[in-house]
Chains A and B, each alone.
Chain A
Amino acid sequence: MNKVVEKELLSENVVKLVVEAQAIARKQCPGQFVIVRTDEKGERIPLTIADADRERGTITLIIQRVGTSSCKITGLNPGDALADVSGPLGRPTHVEKLGTVLACGGGVGIAPLYPIARAFKQAGNRLIAVLGARNRELLILEKEMAAFADETIIMTDDGSYGRKGVITVGIEDVLKREPVHLAVAIGPAVMMKFTALLTKRYEVPTIASLNTIMVDGTGMCGACRVSVGGKTKFVCVDGPEFDAHQIDYDEMIQRLNTYKAEEKLSFDGYLKSLS
């Protein structure tokens, strides 16, 4: 059992939880994730570690409410506990000094991007953050990113904050004006797909961190498989980061929809159980 010690609402649908997980807090590196199960009947779902405090023995998880499992987790309050948290899983981000690094985060993808961007900054890179959200209310971690980033560009779909437009508009402005040595893209699959298409045109090496369906998270099941450069890879043990220019996003998007009907059925039942 892992106790929740802190909870904060980052936006209408995005919740930050600080959870006790001493061993994981000690070992985790930017880019890694945990597998979480809320209760005896719960699913095992992967969640990226957004931050960790070694001294307190806690990790920070940022979760967007979309279905049964995410609603169960975000419904927990300080004092409640998760049934299981295991990790840290996946390969850590390879961080080195390259020059200028462009950190591109869409929606709740800004959460996993945050520790990676900070690590690149600490390694001595110039760090430009481009953060996208549907509107001002849904934008998360802006202050935290701006605290270390050399520049922070905000894009909103409706123009309610920052500049109006999709994230690739903001990214392209930077690519046009200065040399970028690496781009890191984390967000919805479509956002990563179009970011990758754009950075490929500018020949900027790009990594994307994928969040697919998983069960065990240790390479045992293969639910998370994706095609990268025509080869099947497991996100849990080979990733979660891959060369963004090699990923078959369309296949990945289809696979993310495997349980669309079941997810709706489960969520309807969950909502009914609340009322």
Chain B
Amino acid sequence: MPVDPQDLHADRGQEWRNELRASLSAKERSALPRVRMPELDARERSAGFREVNTGLSEEMAVREAKRCLDCAAPTCISGCPVNINIPGFIKLIEKGDFLAAARKLKETNALPAVCGRVCPQEVQCEANCVYQKMKKPPVAIGYLERFASDCERLAGDVVVPAIENRSPVRVAAVGSGPASLTFAGQMAKWGYRVTVFEALHELAGVLSYGIPEFRLPKSIVRSEIAYLEALGVTFERNVIVGKTITIEDMREQGYQGFFIGSGAGLPKFMHVPGENAIGIYSSNEYLTRVNLMKAYQFPSYDTPIVRGKRVAVIGGGNTAMDSVRTAVRLGAEKAMIVYRRSEQEMPARIEEVHHAKEEGVEFLTLTNPIEYIADNEGRVQQMKVQKMGLGAADDSGRRRPVVIAGSDYLIDVDTVVVGVGTDPNPLIPRSIRGLEVSKWGTIVVDEATMQTAVPDIFAGGDIVRGGATVILAMGDGKKAAAAMRDYLLKKPAGG
């Protein structure tokens, strides 16, 4: 959804903003160094699950906010999938009105405390910052987003916007991850009666089961959910749409619009020999045991996990980094990333790679597992890997890894986590008649509206994209909400 340039212009033209802009020259602003995020010492943090980044101080945040030039035509916004008014909230921080900055964020983003922590800013807003053209480090937009929303939460001063025009129309979201939460927040603000159905016993999808406490504390996720509840969103846990209840049942109960944000919940394995040995996990299982089931507190919590001493995590994305850093915290003496391309091609956020290295993770790049060898109890003992070289670029624009013949060797391991991606979960697509599904199992939608082949059903996030980021899922949720509203308004009453 594009932002209205006129709104931006009016926002920027406020008197206080003009004054603030004039208070420092662009030269002075651009001479300030980029702030560094304070973090726990690598050794200290590796012993537990405390959040690594500790957040900016007020003084640091205001100084960083001063670096923003408040451009007349801000390019940063075009890099944001939910089109946050970036200079708008940053200048409120510079002004010292942190709560207003948080509210400015929430106008466009239902989950700013989450996005400030997990978004890949370096390829989105910050990649489009005007400083890039000046060959200077971009404004730390992500840190500032986190700062403002944390201020609001810590102040306990969360303002829930008044909802005008309450509608009797009921709509449902399937799954409670970032796509559905964004959709739900938007629809609730427009006055619709929204119910979110979650299959697990805990809400927030990947934000709960996937992203670890040390990167995204669960207390933050809970407060974002509480905000949505305050907006009037209803949450139903332990309901598996397609099993416990069908879309058909919900239509009979009076729901008039559906948003499917059920995620890419089917882990990919590599189908190499020995992959079912004990001690080989999907990253989904490994992270779910730790994050959702609290296996790191076993036996105080009942769910166990294999606490490996020599752990290999296969893959180079954020999930792989989360898994390997979790392994470090579970007491691994040797924790390795095994990735078939080079570090340059790794899809993980730069910060996660950097943190992993600080915590002692070894990176075995251009290396690919081809077999697992188990002991007589079936527990994995060794993995056979082969070295790879880089060939010509493939469809993704990254150079394709090619096998170097005769380069096989063995690595001793007692735990392996396969984090090479996920496929869409077939449970929901299978249960809905008329839905168009691609050969990859993703739900086919009209990209402009996120509407599926069934008019009252919209979809977004990984069930459509097949494996992307929190923020892209949120962008989909937002787009779908706008399109569903149009659809519901145009629909004949009672129809």
Q: Which residue of B lies closest to A45 (CB)?
A: B302
Is B269 on the interface with A (CB-CB < 8 A)? yes
Within A200-229, the residues touching B (CB, 8 Å) are 215-216, 218-223, 225-227
Within B287-308, the residues touching A (CB, 8 Å) are 288-289, 292-294, 298-304, 306
Q: If A86-B201, A86-B238 touch, does A220 touch B269 (CB 8 Å cutoff)?
A: no
Contact A88 B278 (CB under 8 A): no
Stretch at the interface among B26-34, B93-101, B239-247: B239-247
Bound form: Cα–Cα A23–B242 in Å:
12
Within A21-48, the residues touching B (CB, 8 Å) are 23-24, 27, 37, 41-44
Chain A residue numbers with a CB within 8 Å of B289 are: 215
Of the residues A24, A85, A87, A254, contact of B378 by C-beta under 8 Å: A254
Report the count of interface residues on B (CB-CB < 8 A): 42
Bound form: Cα–Cα A259–B278 in Å:
9
Bound form: Cα–Cα A222–B199 in Å:
16
Bound form: Cα–Cα A43–B425 in Å:
23
Is A265 on the interface with B (CB-CB < 8 A)? yes
Chain A nearest Cβ from B149, distance in angstroms: 28
Bound form: Cα–Cα A42–B294 in Å:
10
Contact B244 A266 (CB under 8 A): no
Contact A27 B244 (CB under 8 A): yes
Contact A84 B240 (CB under 8 A): no
Bound form: Cα–Cα A263–B299 in Å:
9
Of the residues B200, B266, B302, contact of A43 by C-beta under 8 Å: B302
Contact A84 B267 (CB under 8 A): no
Report the count of interface residues on A (CB-CB < 8 A): 42
Contact B293 A44 (CB under 8 A): yes
Contact B276 A220 (CB under 8 A): no
Is B9 on the interface with A (CB-CB < 8 A)? no
Chain B residue numbers with a CB within 8 Å of A232 are: 269, 271, 275-276
Bound form: Cα–Cα A223–B305 in Å:
11
Contact A262 B304 (CB under 8 A): yes
Q: Which residue of B lies closest to A40 (CB)?
A: B301
Q: If A83-B201, A223-B285 touch, does A41 touch B301 (CB 8 Å cutoff)?
A: yes
Contact A218 B240 (CB under 8 A): yes
Of the residues A44, A215, A258, A263, contact of B278 by C-beta under 8 Å: A258
Contact B238 A251 (CB under 8 A): no
Contact A220 B425 (CB under 8 A): yes
Chain B nearest Cβ from A39, distance in angstroms: 9
Within A83-99, the residues touching B (CB, 8 Å) are 83-89
Contact B238 A84 (CB under 8 A): yes
Bound form: Cα–Cα A96–B301 in Å:
44
Q: Mark A147-186, 1 if CB is under 8 A from B, else 0.
A: 0000000000000000000000000000000000000000
Contact B284 A220 (CB under 8 A): yes
Chain A residue numbers with a CB within 8 Å of B36 are: none
Q: If A219-B425, A222-B267 touch, does A269 touch B299 (CB 8 Å cutoff)?
A: yes
Chain A residue numbers with a CB within 8 Å of B265 are: 216, 218-220
Is B426 on the interface with A (CB-CB < 8 A)? yes
Bound form: Cα–Cα A130–B176 in Å:
45
Is A237 on the interface with B (CB-CB < 8 A)? yes
Contact A222 B285 (CB under 8 A): yes
Bound form: Cα–Cα A266–B301 in Å:
9
A-B residue pairs, 5 tightest by C-beta: A254-B378, A262-B304, A221-B285, A86-B238, A220-B265
Q: Residues of A with Cβ closer than 8 Å to B?
A: 23-24, 27, 37, 41-44, 68-69, 72, 83-89, 215-216, 218-223, 225-227, 232, 237, 251, 254-255, 257-259, 262-263, 265-266, 269
A216-B288, A222-B269, A254-B377 given; 4 more Cβ-contact pairs under 8 Å: A23-B244, A218-B240, A220-B425, A222-B267
Q: Can you list 9 A-B pairs with a CB-CB distance of less than 8 A?
A: A87-B243, A218-B427, A220-B288, A221-B288, A222-B281, A255-B276, A257-B278, A257-B378, A259-B304
